[in-house]
């Protein structure tokens, strides 16, 4: 199943309200990913976003679901600025996931 | 408390402003100005406003001979926070222009309304508006999340046409940076706390790389980097510590190099400033120097990644050679 979330309706032209990011994450993104469904975050009409907003929206799904999040979470109509911020969050989250893995490997030993 | 608003109130002279503060006798605030000319950066204004709000207008006055340029203090709303009536008469409608007077933001919804309704008052292009929204969005959110200030975030901004620059000041009278860093990082001094807060990937909410679901420790580093890339000043003041990023030399060609460690940037700092129980952050952004915003973000993101990798390497165990 595929679900599209129209971000403009939730956050307006500029995505900075982390409370809304958290709400979307908890109420929509995480439940859909846990069912293995695909989610499309549609940024049509959104001009910009802060790194904090994108972090609050997607860092936990990446940490929790990893490959499922990478495969099933997609972004539509994101302008260059928003794409860049999403890419930054993806990069540093993957760096930190390796860190988590190393920590758990060490614990297992 | 005594605050003197001089004729050189810009971020280049921020250190001097901080050192001139008399924050003793915290129940009363006396504000004076240069008698011929007053120039006030939003940073100086919001610090004054935040302290005035904390103690109430009945305990705040503007004293001495305020020059004609002091009308700016009225336009920005400072007189409204004092018991001193404004000596200036003017048509406020005519003065509506490229500045954001002192505003208080207490909730995330206030913040969203501010960004939607107020920033357009600066009459900037869409690309430049995005940068300003980004900076204010991140800085105000920091206050709402980390300061525990009952008075919220005090914000002001000014666009300077001649230099095509926007100056922003955001201040709170909350717990300060040192206390917000205590749980996980235990800084010994205020200046060490500021260094941590400016280091990419370090947040007061965890020691984990990548942060928590809500915080990544990127906000202040991004803002300082935007100031550096646009070749301008950034300042932060909390507790006894003050750090000012100095302007990148315009004669040096190419994009200024970003460093994860704020001590590698050209800066001045002190850990002996008059103690301020709260946090002030100020930044100037030269719009002429703003490269494509996504290029700017990309450069900042690369340094952020590198900082995380370097810190991870620092945790690796070394072989024992005996």
Residue A106 pLDDT level (bands cut at 50, 70, 90)? very low
Question: What's the average model confidence in pLDDT over B305-313?
Answer: 83
pLDDT average, residue stretch A25-30:
97
| Residue owning tokens 């893995």 | A101
Nearest to B216 by CA among A26, A18, A20: A18
Q: Classify residue B33: in a domain, yes or no.
A: yes
Inter-chain residue contact A56 with B141, CB threshold 8 Å: no
- Identify the pLDDT of residue B5: 96
Query: Is B107 part of any domain?
Result: yes
What pLDDT is stored for residue B256 in this prediction? 87
Q: Does residue B93 or residue B182 have the better pLDDT? A: B182
Interval B209-265: pLDDT, tens: 778 888 888 889 999 999 998 889 999 999 999 999 998 777 777 778 899 999 999
C-alpha to C-alpha distance for B114 and B53, rounded to whole angstroms? 19
- pLDDT value of residue A102: 55
Average pLDDT, chain B: 90
B294/B291: higher pLDDT: B294
Q: How far is CA B89 from the centre of its chain?
A: 31
A56 touches chain B (CB under 8 A): yes
CB contact under 8 A, B141 and A50: yes
What pLDDT shows up at residue B93? 55
Indicate the number of domains in chain B.
1
Structural domain contains residue B320: no
Higher local confidence (pLDDT), B272 or B164: B272
User: Is B322 a domain residue?
Assistant: no
- B210 within 8 A of B272, measured Cβ to Cβ: no
Asked whether residue B321 is domain-assigned, the answer is: no
Joined together, the tokens standing for residue B101 give 């007077």
Give the domain extent around A77. 2-108
Contact A51 B218 (CB under 8 A): yes
Which of the four pLDDT bands, split at 50, 70 and 90, describes residue B272? Answer: very high
* Higher-scoring residue by pLDDT: A49, B213: A49
- In chain A, residues with a C-beta closer than 8 Å to the C-beta of B293 are 48, 81
Which 3 state secondary structure label does DSSP give B35?
coil
**Residue B242 to chain A, least CA–CA distance (Å):** 25
- CATH classification of the domain holding B235: 3.30.565.10
Give the tens place of pLDDT for each residue, B66-121.
999 999 999 999 999 999 999 998 766 544 558 899 999 999 999 998 998 888 77
The b-or-e profile of B134-150 (16+ CB within 10 A means b, else e) is bbbbbbbbbbbbbbebe
Asked if residue B120 is part of any domain, the answer here is yes
* Structure confidence at residue B264 (pLDDT): 95
The residue of B126, B130, B136, B137 whose CB has the most chain A CBs within 10 angstroms, and thus the best one to mutate to test that interface, is: B137
Mark yes or no for CB contact B304/A92 under 8 Å: yes
Q: Which domain does B65 fall in, by range?
A: 2-315
Q: What is the pLDDT of residue B225?
A: 93
Higher pLDDT among residues A95 and B112, named by residue: B112
Structural domain count of chain A: 1
């Amino acid at each position: 199943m595929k679900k599209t979330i129209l971000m403009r309706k939730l956050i307006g032209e500029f995505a900075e309200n982390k409370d809304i990011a958290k709400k979307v994450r908890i109420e929509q993104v995480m439940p859909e990913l846990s069912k293995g469904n695909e989610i499309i975050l549609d940024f049509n009409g959104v001009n910009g976003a802060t790194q904090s907003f994108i972090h609050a929206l997607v860092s936990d799904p990446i940490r929790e679901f990893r490959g499922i999040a990478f495969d099933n979470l997609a972004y539509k109509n994101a302008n260059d600025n928003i794409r860049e911020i999403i890419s930054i969050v993806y990069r540093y989250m993957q760096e930190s996931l390796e860190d988590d893995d190393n920590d758990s490997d060490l614990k297992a030993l | 408390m005594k605050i003197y608003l001089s004729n050189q109130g810009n971020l280049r002279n921020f250190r001097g402003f901080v050192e001139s503060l008399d924050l003793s006798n915290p129940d009363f605030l006396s504000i004076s100005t240069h008698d011929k000319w007053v120039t006030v950066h939003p940073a100086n204004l919001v610090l004054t406003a935040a302290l005035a709000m904390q103690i109430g207008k009945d305990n705040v006055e503007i004293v001495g001979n305020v020059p004609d340029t002091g009308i700016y203090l009225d336009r920005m709303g400072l007189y409204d926070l004092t018991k001193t009536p404004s000596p200036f008469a003017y048509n406020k409608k005519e003065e509506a222009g490229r500045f954001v007077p002192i505003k208080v933001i207490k909730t995330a919804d206030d913040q969203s309304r501010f960004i939607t309704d107020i920033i357009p008052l600066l009459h900037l292009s869409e690309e430049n508006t995005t940068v300003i929204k980004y900076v204010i969005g991140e800085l105000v959110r920091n206050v709402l999340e980390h300061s525990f200030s009952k008075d919220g975030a005090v914000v002001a901004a000014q666009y300077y046409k001649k230099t095509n620059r926007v100056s922003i000041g955001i201040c709170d009278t909350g717990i300060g940076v040192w206390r917000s860093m205590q749980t996980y990082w235990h800084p010994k001094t205020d200046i060490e706390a500021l260094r941590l807060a400016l280091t990419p990937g370090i947040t007061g909410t965890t020691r984990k790389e990548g942060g928590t679901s809500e915080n990544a420790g990127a906000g202040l580093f991004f803002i300082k980097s935007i100031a550096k890339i646009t070749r301008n000043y950034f300042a932060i003041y909390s507790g006894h510590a003050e750090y000012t990023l100095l302007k990148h030399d315009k004669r040096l060609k190419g994009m200024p190099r970003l460093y994860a460690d704020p001590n590698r940037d050209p800066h001045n700092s002190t850990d002996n400033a008059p103690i301020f129980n709260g946090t002030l952050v100020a930044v100037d952004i030269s719009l002429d120097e703003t490269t494509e915003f996504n290029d700017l973000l990309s450069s900042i993101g690369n340094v952020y990644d590198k900082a995380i990798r370097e810190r991870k390497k620092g945790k690796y165990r070394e072989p024992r050679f005996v």
